[in-house]
Every structure is written in structure tokens, then in C-alpha cells.
Structure 1
Amino acid sequence: MPNINFIGVILAGVLGMFVGFLWYGPLFGKRWITLMGFSKEDIEEAKKKGMILNYGLGLLGQLATACALSLIVASSFQYFGGFSYSLIFWIWLGIMVPIQMGGVLWEGRSWGLFALNSTYYLVQLLVMGFVLSYLG
């Protein structure tokens, strides 16, 4: 089993979280709020409740993703002699996209929300893969 560089995992997890802040904040936050059907009151209520637990759990999820991706990146170096971003694309297309499609097919989510979220996961995985390929 390949070794995990925990500094790389932590950095990749934090950067994954940062991508999410940008994606669902200044870049596409208004679009996401509309696609989710949230009102301004919903957003204000969430702010009043505090989001620290959500952010903490989100960071744990990012770290878990970074840890798993670190093993994949390390294995790709071990078995293929290098890392290819096409590997990230296939992980995204074969795992993340079908999972996100479930929200459209079974939960009544819109295709617009699917596109926004799925594209975020591709960017997130690419950023993490970049970090881990250099620090892994």
C-alpha cells in the first residue's frame, strides 16, 4: 500500500474547502441559492444558527476525499510511473457524475443544479489531484 503524505492531504482538503467557498459564494452563490429554491429568509436564518458545525463536517469530508485521492495518486505513480489528470476525469465521470444524477432522477433536483454541483466536484478533484501529485 502506498504511503500517504498527510501534509499534502491536509493542504488538498483545505484547498478543496476553499474551492467550495469560492464556487458556492462569489462565483455561483446566487445561482446555487436560486436552484436550491432558498429564500433570503432561509439564508438569514442559516446565518443566525451558525454554520460552524457544517463547515467542520464539510472539512472532514474534504479531508476524507483528499486521503482517498492521495492513495489513488500514489498508486498511479507506483503502477504507471506518473499521474494523469485524465484519471481524475474518469473518477469524476464514472463515480461523481452518476451519484449526482441520483439527485435529478430520484429527488427532483434540477439539471441546472446537477451541472453546477457536478462541475464543482470536477474542479475540486483537479485541484486536489494537482496538490497531491506534487506533495504526495
Structure 2
Amino acid sequence: MAIFWSVILASIVNMVIGYYWYSEKFFGKKWRQYAELSDEKLSQLEKKDVRRSYVINFIASFIMVYMLAFFLLATEAVTVFQALGTAFWLWLGFIATTHIGSVLFEKKSKGYFFINTLYYLIVLFVDSFILIGNI
């Protein structure tokens, strides 16, 4: 049961990290530039059902963290180093490789790719720290 609460906690932490990661204090301004989102367009998007977007994002985060926990168990990771290694290989194998298509086919900038994929690397590392103590 402790693992369930760890997955919930890590999912919430992911949302908090995302809030700051994409804020003006960190990468928000550059990300909006790379994503070609003007202040006006962003404002229009925010006026839509933001609550729904956050709920769906939380569910997606929960699934990602749950699968990370599954892989940590499957690889029998018991140390922080092993957990970070598992997180890195999952990031490289599933996140970085799928996001590269946005650069190759959608003609998004490399900066867009790096901001988005590094966010996932950071949250997978943080999630690993949260989960490893309860596996």
C-alpha cells in the first residue's frame, strides 16, 4: 500500500516540477518561443477548461510513475543508483526517442526538444528517489 501513496506523491511532485519548469522563472519564456505560443494564444488556451487539462495531465503522470515503479520492481533496483539508472534508460528508450520526431518531422527546434525531454528526465529521477524507499 505504501507504493500506491508513493506513486500518488510522485505524481503530485511531477505537477509541481512542471509548474516551475514551464514558468517564467525557468524555461517558460523560451519554451513558449520554441512552441510558437504568443501571449495571446496562450491566454486563449488558458481560458479553456484548464482544470480538465490538469486532471488529464495528472492521470498521465500517475501512469508514468506507476510504470516506473513497475520497472524498478522488475529490474530489482534496490539502491538509488540502480533506480536512477533504470529511470535514465526508460527516459532514453521511451521519452527521448519518441520526442525526437517533433524535431525531425514537425520541424520543432532542438531547444523545444531539450526543454521538454529534460523535464521528463528530471521528474523520472525525482520519482525514482520517491519510489525507491517504498519498493
| TM-score, length-scaled by structure 1 | 0.88
What is aligned with 1:73?
A: 72
Unaligned runs of 5+ in 1: none
What is aligned with 1:118?
A: 117
* Greater fraction of residues in helix: 1
Unaligned runs of 5+ in 2: none
Deviation by residue 1:80-132 (Cα, 9 ceiling, x = unmatched): 55451122111111221110101111111111100111111100110111101
Matched, 1:37 2:36: yes
Query: Cα distance 1:81–1:29, how it changes in 2: closer, same or farther (>3 A)?
Result: closer
Deviation by residue 1:14-38 (Cα, 9 ceiling, x = unmatched): 1111111111113111111111111
Identity of aligned residues (%): 30
CA distance in 1, matches of 2:27, 2:42: 15
What is aligned with 1:18?
A: 16
**Contact 2:20–2:26 (CA under 8 A) maintained in structure 1:** yes
Indicate the RMSD between aligned Cα atoms, in angstroms: 1.7
| Equivalenced residues, count | 132
CA distance in 1, matches of 2:61, 2:50: 16
CA distance in 2, matches of 1:81, 1:7: 18
* Counterpart code for 2:118: T
* Counterpart code for 2:37: F
